[in-house]
Structure 1
Amino acid sequence: MKNIVIIGGSKGIGSAILLQQLENNTVYNLSRTAPAISHPNLIHFPINVLEDALPEIEAIDVLIYCPGSINLKPIGSLSIADFRTDFEINVIGAVKAIQKYLPALKKGNNPSIILFSTVAAKLGMPFHASIATAKAGVEGLVKSLGAELASAVRINAIAPTITETSLSAGILRNDRMKENMVERHPMKGYLKPDEVAAMADFLISDKAKSISGQTFEMDYGIVSFKI
C-alpha cells in the first residue's frame, strides 16, 4: 500500500487517478472541493494550493500534481496577468508542492512525482501561447529535477491531448465539435480521463522504476503523425 498525495483530485484527470488508486492505497486529496465520494482510504484537505499552507503529511510515496488551465486566446487578447496566472497554476503550484513534500518523498518506497504538460508544448497550435508557455515550463522542471533527484525520487510528466473533462467542456460542447476533434487526430479519437489515469498508474509503479525525467505524450497521433 502506497501513500499517495494528489493535488487536484476532485475533478477530471485527478479524480480518475484518485478513484483508480483508492482501493489499494492511502490517498490524500488536496483541493478546494471535496471528491464526490467517501472512502476509508481517502483523506481530504480543503485548500487552495496557491494561497494556503500545505498540510503536514509524514509518509509519502507518490506526489501527483493535477491542476491545469485552458486559457485559449489570440496573443493580442492575452494580458500579462493571463500568462502569470497560467504559470502560477501549472508551474509555481507544482514547485510549491514538490518543495513541501520532497523530504517525505525521499524516505518513501520507490518514490515518484507526476506532473502534467500538454501536446501544445510540442505542437504549435493557435491561441495556446499562454498555456503552452506554462506547460513548457513544466517539462523543463521535470527534466531538471529528474537529473537533480536521480538517486532519490523519480519525476515524470504526462502530456495529454484534449481530454473529456469539465475543463474542456467548452471545446467539446456538442456532438459536431466532438466529431471534428476525433477527425483532427490521426488515430481518430481523443482521451478519456481513465486512459490518462492508467498511464499515471504505470509511472508510479515498480514497473517504471527505470524511468525518470521524461514527458509522455498521449496524443492519439496528433503530435507524432502526419497522415
Structure 2
Amino acid sequence: MKKNIVLIGGTHGIGHAIVSQIASDHNLFIASRTNEGLDNLDVEHILFDATKDEIGTDQLPEEIHGFVFCPGSINLKPFKMMGLDTFEQDMQLNFFSLVRVLKTIMPKMADNASMVFFSTVAVTSGMPFHTSVSASKGAIEGFAKSLAAEYAPKLRVNVVAPSLVDTPLATRLLNNEKKREAMADRHPLKRVGTPEDIANIAVFLLSDDSSWMTGQIIGVDGGLSTLNIN
C-alpha cells in the first residue's frame, strides 16, 4: 500500500530532493507557494504559504502516514546588527509555522506515522553569527523531543540537523569558488552537503526501516559537529 506523505515545501532544495526520491512510491501532497519543479511528478499540489496561510483539512488525505516540514531560513549576521524583528521572523517561519500546521494535521496522523523536521548543526556546535537561526531551530529540537515522548508509540518524530547544503537558500554563502572552497574546507569530509545527502536520511526516517527510531536529532554535517581535525 502506498503511504500518504505530506510535505510543507517541496519545490526547491532538500524538499524537492525528497519529493524526487519518493514520488513514484507514495501519494505525495506538496504544500508550497508555487508548483515549480513538480510538473513531471505525480503529486498533489496545495497552494500554501507557511508564514501566513492555514492549511485546509479538506485538501489533505484522510490518513497521513508521513509528514515533512521543510521551510527554513539562514540569517547569518552579528547579533548587534539584528533587531528583534529578525528573531521574531525566524521564529515565525521556522517554529511557529510548524506548530500551526501540526495543530491542523495531528488528528489525521495514522498509527506508526513518521514526522521529520529540520534543524541545523549550529544548535549544538555554537557558531558565530547564528544566534537567530539557532534560537528558532533549537526550539524545533526541544519541541520534537517532547512531541515524540507525548505521542509514542503512535507517532515517531525525528529531526535532521544538517550543516551547509548547496541549495538556493545558501546561494549567498556559495556564490563563488573561493567561498565554496572555504566552506568545504571547514568540514572533515571536505565538501558542503548536497540536497540528496539530506534527502537520503529524511526518506529513511519516513520509511519502516527506521521504525525503532524516535526523538532523535540526527547530524548530517560532513562530520562538523563531532570531529575536530584542524
The TM-score with structure 2 as length reference comes to 0.95
**1:72 match:** 76
Preserved CA contact (<8 Å) 2:10 2:16 = yes
Is it true that 1:208 corresponds to 2:205 in the alignment?
Answer: no
Name structure 1 gaps, 5 residues minimum.
none
Shift of the 40–166 alpha-carbon distance from structure 1 to 2, 3 Å rule, reads closer
Q: How many Å separate the matches in 2 of 1:38 and 1:79?
A: 40
Shift of the 221–33 alpha-carbon distance from structure 1 to 2, 3 Å rule, reads same
Is it true that 1:181 corresponds to 2:187 in the alignment?
Answer: no
**1:3 match:** 4
Alignment of 1:158-177 (within 5 A): 158-177=160-179
- Encode CA deviations 1:106-155: one digit per residue, 9 max, x unaligned: x35x3011000000101111110000011110100111101001121100
**2:89 match:** 85
Preserved CA contact (<8 Å) 2:51 2:97 = yes
Aligned residue among 131, 134, 154 for 1:132: 134
Preserved CA contact (<8 Å) 1:9 1:35 = no
Q: How many residues align?
A: 225
Q: How many Å separate the matches in 1 of 2:36 and 2:105?
A: 22
The alpha-carbon deviation at position 36 of structure 1 amounts to: 1.4
Residue 127 of structure 2: SS of its match in structure 1? coil
Q: Could you tell me the percent identity over the aligned residues?
A: 36
Aligned residue among 114, 117, 124 for 2:116: 114
Alignment of 1:24-63 (within 5 A): 24-39=25-40, 41-56=42-57, 57=60, 58-63=62-67
Q: How many Å separate the matches in 2 of 1:120 and 1:75?
A: 15
Name structure 2 gaps, 5 residues minimum.
none
- Encode CA deviations 1:138-192: one digit per residue, 9 max, x unaligned: 1001111010011211000000000000000000011111111111111211210
- Amino acid across the alignment from 2:124: K
Q: How many Å separate the matches in 1 of 2:97 and 2:167?
A: 21
The TM-score with structure 1 as length reference comes to 0.96
- Amino acid across the alignment from 2:122: A
Aligned residue among 176, 186, 199 for 2:201: 199
Residue 46 of structure 2: SS of its match in structure 1? strand
- Encode CA deviations 1:4-63: one digit per residue, 9 max, x unaligned: 100011111011111111011111110111131325630101111231120221221111
- Amino acid across the alignment from 2:159: A
Preserved CA contact (<8 Å) 2:50 2:71 = no
- Amino acid across the alignment from 1:98: L
Q: How many Å separate the matches in 1 of 2:41 and 2:222?
A: 36
**2:23 match:** 22
Q: How many Å separate the matches in 2 of 1:41 and 1:25?
A: 9
